[in-house]
Amino acid sequence: MFDANLSMLFTELPLLERPQAARAAGFDAVEIWWPFADAVPETREIEAFEGAIVDAQVRLVGLNLYAGDMPAGDRGLASWPGRETEFRTNVEITAAIAARLGCRTLNALHGNFETTAQTVSNYRFAADVAAQAGAQLVIEPLSGAPKYPIKTAHQAFELIDEIDRGNVKLLADLYHLATNGDDLDLLADHVDRIGHVQIADAPGRGEPGTGELDLFGHLAKLRANGYTGFVGAEYKPVTHSFAWRDNA
């Protein structure tokens, strides 16, 4: 089951038109980074976004928390000193959106600061709020972000153990993990700890088949070991074709 990442795909369209474009391209499910400019958007903005999802008749399966100024290099607020209130307010808003749309996966990027007791406390708060909305929280290792401290699955698992909440799992982005040197074959041994999977080929971060990764082979191993969740197509389009799905 593939879902389309609306922050990476169909970007030639305004954001509110992308859910319908995903539907027209054959996707029944979508995911998205935080779709607003601020951590606390106006009610009308939230309603417009939710309406676009509902009107397109697609399922929202993944939603990122506000991560700061991403183009400037920000990668989350969970570890950002002094922004705890902003983070927690955004958690509550994100969880409310998820509850209304039936979204079950919330991605809380760590941020470009070291993990402290406050970071862990923030994550525990987020996990508890997510649980009340019937959702899980996922921790994502990233590549291409030198200051971001969570780069491997092992580092994510260490943080997840410290958070100590049953609904906190790994977001296994095969592109980021491979780029950072992780052995993707080992992921199949930890399927019970994986909450969501995303794909892009490497190098280049294009669609499957444009790089050197055996993405479908790795997905087959994850499925064989019990992974039943969605796989997010989170890549930079090269051919602008979805023919790769025929080979999955």
- CA dist 212 and 141 (Å) reads 20
What are the sequence ranges of the domains in the chain?
A: 2-247
- Residue pLDDT, tens place only, 108-135: 999 999 999 999 999 999 999 999 999 9
| CA-angle at 155, arms to 151 and 159, nearest 5° | 125
- pLDDT tens digits for 37-77? 999 999 999 999 999 999 999 999 999 999 999 999 999 99
pTM above the 0.95 mark?
A: yes
Q: What are 128-156's pLDDT values in tens digits? A: 999 999 999 999 999 999 999 999 999 99
Active-site residues: which are they? 140, 234
pLDDT tens digits, 172-193: 999 999 999 999 999 999 999 9
247 falls in which pLDDT band (50, 70, 90)? confident
Rounded Cα–Cα distance for residues 148 and 142 (Å): 7
pLDDT-based confidence at 29, cuts 50/70/90? very high
Hey, what CATH class is 2-247 in?
A: alpha beta
Q: Which neighbouring-strand residues pair with 196?
A: 171
The span from the CA of 24 to the CA of 201, in Å, is 24
